[in-house]
Each structure stands twice: as C-alpha cells, then as structure tokens.
Amino acid sequence: MSQINNSKKVAIIGGGISGISAAMELIDKDINIDIYEARNSIGGRVAGIKDKLTGDEIDNGKHLMVGAYSNFFDLLQKLGTFKHLYFQKYFNVNFISESGEFNFSNGRFGKLSQLISLMNFPGISLRDKRNSIKFINQVNRGLDATPSESAKDILNNFQISNKISEILWEPLILATMNTTPREASGKIFLNILKLAFFHSNYSGRLVFSNLQLNKLLIPFLTIFPNEHRRIFLQKSIESVNKIDDDNFIIKIKNGEEYNYNAVIFTLTPFALKKIKTNFQMPDFESFESSPIVSIYLWSEEDFLKNDFYALIGAKFQWIFKETYNSLRYALTHSAADEFAMLSKSEIIELAYQDLEKLFSKFNRNLIYQAQLIIEKKATIKLTTQTEPLRPAQKISKGIYLAGDWTSTGLPATMESAALSGKHAVGNLITDLSL
Ligand SMILES: Cc1cc2nc3c(=O)[nH]c(=O)nc-3n(C[C@H](O)[C@H](O)[C@H](O)COP(=O)(O)OP(=O)(O)OC[C@H]3O[C@@H](n4cnc5c(N)ncnc54)[C@H](O)[C@@H]3O)c2cc1C
C-alpha cells in the first residue's frame, strides 16, 4: 500500500449523483475515502432499466437537462462522458395541442425571440400576451418572490390567465419542479427562469444524452477506486454514531462497524429517516415526496415530426423520441399524484388517448412494447413550506449533507445534486484543513 500524507478517513453514504460529485471533489486529496451504496449499482435515481422484451436499456424515466447545468456538466467532464451530450442551439420547444402546434424559442433573434414566440401563440388574447411580456421583462430585471408566494401567486400578480399558464408556464414548472404551480415555491420558479431560461442562449437550451444517463456515470467505477479510495456496493448503512467531532462509527446492516473522521450523507430525506444517529439531524418529516410516471413505447413506425413536444391539454406533459438501439418514445407525467390509484393498463390507455388526440400519425396497433415506470418518490415536493426548510450542506463539524433536496437555490434536479456534493465537500475541506 502506498503512503499517503494524511491519514484522515471520510465516508460518503450513497452513490447517486450527489455522492459521486462529492467523491470527485475529494479525489485530489491525500485522504482515505469509502463510498457506501445500498444498491448493486451506482447512479441512484438515474438508474438504468433493462426492458425484457426488446433488451433495450432505458432510463428510470426521461430526464431533462438545460445548458445551465454547469455543475453536473463539470462532473461529466471529470468522468469523460460530457462528449455524449448534445445541445440545442437555443431554448426551443414545440408545444402541441388539439388546435395545432406552436413554438416557443429563446434565441434565434436574441431576447426578442421570447416576445416573438409569445406574439405568435394561438388563441391567446392580446392582454394576456402583454401581461406575459411584462412578467418576462420583470424576471429579466431580477424580480424576486417572498417565501410564502407560490409560482401560481406570481403568475396571478401579473394577471397571467389560466389559459396561457396551462400552455406555457405549467409544463415548465412541472418539468423542473415536479410540483404543481399552486404549491411550487415562487422563489425557486423565478430562480429557474433567471438562471436558465432567461439568462442567456446557452443556459436555457435543452440538453440531451446520446447514451442512457446511467452510462454517463459508470466510468466513476474505474476512475475513482485505488488503494485509498473504495466503493462498496450493496452495503446499506444502518446507523452513524458520533464519538467526538473527529470520530464517527458507521454500522452497516450486516453488522460490520468502521471508524471515520467525517461522514457525508447523500441520501434523500426519506432514506435518511431510516438511519439511526446519536446526534441531531435536520427535520426530515416535513418533506413530502412527489411521484413521476413515465411510459416508454416501442413503435414500428415514427409518428413524431420533432424529437420532443410539450403536450397541452393532455394527461402526459412531455413526449420524447429516442432512437438509440431502437425507435421508442418516452412520455412523462410529473407531480403524478392523480395516477396513484390507477392500474398499469389504465395509465397506458391514458397515454394512448393523449397520442391519438394529438398526433394523427399515431397508431396504437403499431406499438409492440410498453414499459411503465412509476417512481413514487421521484423528488421532494418543492413547496412554499418546504423550500425554507431545505438544510444546508453542513450539519456540524464532521457531518455533512448532500442531495438534490438540500438547500441549493435550485429545484431538486441532477444539477442541484451535483452542486450539493461540491458544497458539502467545500465545508469538509475547511473543517478538516485538507
Ligand atoms: C422519474 C424521474 C425523473 C426525473 N427527471 C429529472 C429531470 O428531468 N431533470 C433533472 O435534472 N432531474 C430529474 N430527476 C431527479 C434526479 O434524478 C435527481 O435529482 C438526482 O438523481 C438525485 O441524486 P442524489 O444523489 O441527490 O440522490 P439519489 O440518486 O437518490 O442517491 C441516493 C443514493 O443513496 C443510496 N442509499 C439510500 N439509502 C442508503 C443507505 N442506508 N446506505 C447506503 N446507501 C443508501 C440510494 O440507493 C441512492 O443510490 C428525475 C428523477 C426521477 C426519479
């Protein structure tokens, strides 16, 4: 075993994006690092699923990225997989409803594009368009919200009608916050608009992966480990006990116990609740989960003109075409509480009805495989109540927290997860004088 100058030992609990981000931030430090992951693979919620009939590997639900994901992209650069992403030239989304298709773009003509897009929206009154332009202008000038204002309150303040909300703002809020506009934190909604969609052409454009998302993270399994850095899969942590600020005992479910100088928890609040500790943890009870339902459909023929659409007046909110390995479509429904009581066949039937209503070329008889994925705890609900409760990445000296749901000012996304890992490690480096 080669000598390292510093004999400090750090444990990272959880091998999702936030755990991997934390680990990669520490990779240059002369310390021992162990990662404990409960499942038999890394990636957490960015898991891969093998479809039995087609043999295709699909994502655990389609994930959207935007150009503003600088921390997540930084992580992929370190893992050497950034090259598998492709970027839109500028934010450009086609919306489809029963009355036709329309486009919202944010770049072809610079900032003017937003206004041109709005002006071209069908079936929207001039008053509505004027109010939306006023709203966009105020966002561009740094509009802020109070903690108690929801996304819907903000839209109401600008007298944005339900009609334009349903067409434009709701799909955006649901896709980024997985929370209904009525409940969603207005502060985070405005942050999303400021940091991503209205910041620059680069930040707002949508980003897609040529590979299944999980594969973007897999190089971590070879880049990270050496004699001082270990990844343990299928090791679920049961308890963490503090002896003093510099000494913690971690107990694995199989009974093994190990000592560390610091611990970084990178779990969801729902998983954290199950870990026993002898020190005060943040209040996890207030966090509620929000489900996402995804359906993958394999079709013999292509029925989509564009690569993806926002679906208006439909049960599902988005459809994406995927062409790697085979032709298939991913439909998503965020904040999917209303699907909780439905059976698999009822949910698939709803998807078929949406597609029949919106795409004349869709033919359900040409669908030869359907895969339904219900993620009950896809993300936290990011409401006006929970946003102020999101904890910082340091609990006390030696105990750190990361995860998409922690306080990052961002919605609970892959970018928030990557950023939280960096923040947790920033605190740890200062405390341990690394
Ligand atoms: C269907 C779906 C769609 C989504 N869409 C988007 C999107 O469009 N855009 C976007 O940016 N984000 C999206 N997300 C959210 C994104 O996946 C998450 O923000 C991100 O993956 C969270 O990473 P994390 O590391 O914080 O948490 P996790 O990925 O949950 O990682 C936590 C890890 O800890 C492990 N663990 C749990 N308990 C223990 C224990 N006791 N001991 C050891 N290990 C343990 C878990 O197995 C897991 O691997 C979506 C999520 C889902 C489910």
Domain ranges, ordered by start, for the chain: 9-46+215-286+383-431, 48-86+207-211+288-380, 104-202
How many angstroms separate the Cα of 53 from the Cα of each of 49, 212, 349? 12, 18, 20
pLDDT at 27: 96
- Ligand 1 contact via 19 beta carbon (within 6 Å): yes
Ligand 1 center to 29 CA (angstroms): 26
38: pLDDT strictly greater than 70: yes
- Ligand 1 contact via 342 beta carbon (within 6 Å): no
Residue-wise pLDDT tens digits, 359-393: 999 999 999 999 999 999 999 999 999 999 999 99
Provide the pLDDT confidence category of residue 204 given band limits of 50, 70 and 90: confident
Backbone phi, psi, residue 418, to 5°: -65, -45
Q: 268-292 burial, b if ≥16 CB within 10 A, otherwise e? A: bbebbeebebeeebbebeebbbbbb
Closest ligand 1 atom to residue 377 Cα is 53
Closest ligand 1 atom to residue 64 Cα is 8
Q: Do domains 9-46+215-286+383-431 and 48-86+207-211+288-380 have the same CATH topology?
A: no
126: pLDDT strictly greater than 80: yes
Tell me whether strands 328-333 and 276-277 are parallel, antiparallel or unpaired.
Answer: unpaired
Range name among 58-72, 127-141, 228-242 with the lowest pLDDT average: 127-141
pLDDT at 279: 96
Per DSSP, what are the bridge partners of residue 87? 207
Instruction: Please name the residue whose Cα sits nearest to atom 6 of ligand 1.
Output: 63
Closest ligand 1 atom to residue 20 Cα is 25
pLDDT at 110: 63
pLDDT at 146: 96
Whether the complex's predicted ipTM surpasses the cut of 0.85: yes
Instruction: Please name the residue whose Cα sits nearest to atom 38 of ligand 1.
Output: 271
1: pLDDT strictly greater than 60: no
Alpha-carbon dihedral sign for residues 206, 63, 14, 277: positive
Measured CA to CA, the distance from residue 271 to residue 159 in angstroms comes to 41
Taking residues 328-336, what's their average pLDDT? 97
16: pLDDT strictly greater than 80: yes
Superfamily of domain 9-46+215-286+383-431: FAD/NAD(P)-binding domain (3.50.50.60)
Instruction: Please name the residue whose Cα sits nearest to atom 31 of ligand 1.
Output: 16
Ligand 1 center to 43 CA (angstroms): 7
| Amino acid at position 327, single letter | L
- Ligand 1 contact via 269 beta carbon (within 6 Å): no
Measured CA to CA, the distance from residue 263 to residue 11 in angstroms comes to 5
Residue-wise pLDDT tens digits, 222-279: 999 999 999 999 999 999 999 999 999 999 999 999 999 999 999 999 999 999 999 9
Closest ligand 1 atom to residue 415 Cα is 11
> Which two tokens mark 414?
């892959």
User: What is the CATH T-level fold of the domain 48-86+207-211+288-380, as seen in this structure?
Assistant: Polyamine Oxidase; Chain A, domain 2 (3.90.660)
303: pLDDT strictly greater than 90: yes
Measured CA to CA, the distance from residue 409 to residue 133 in angstroms comes to 25
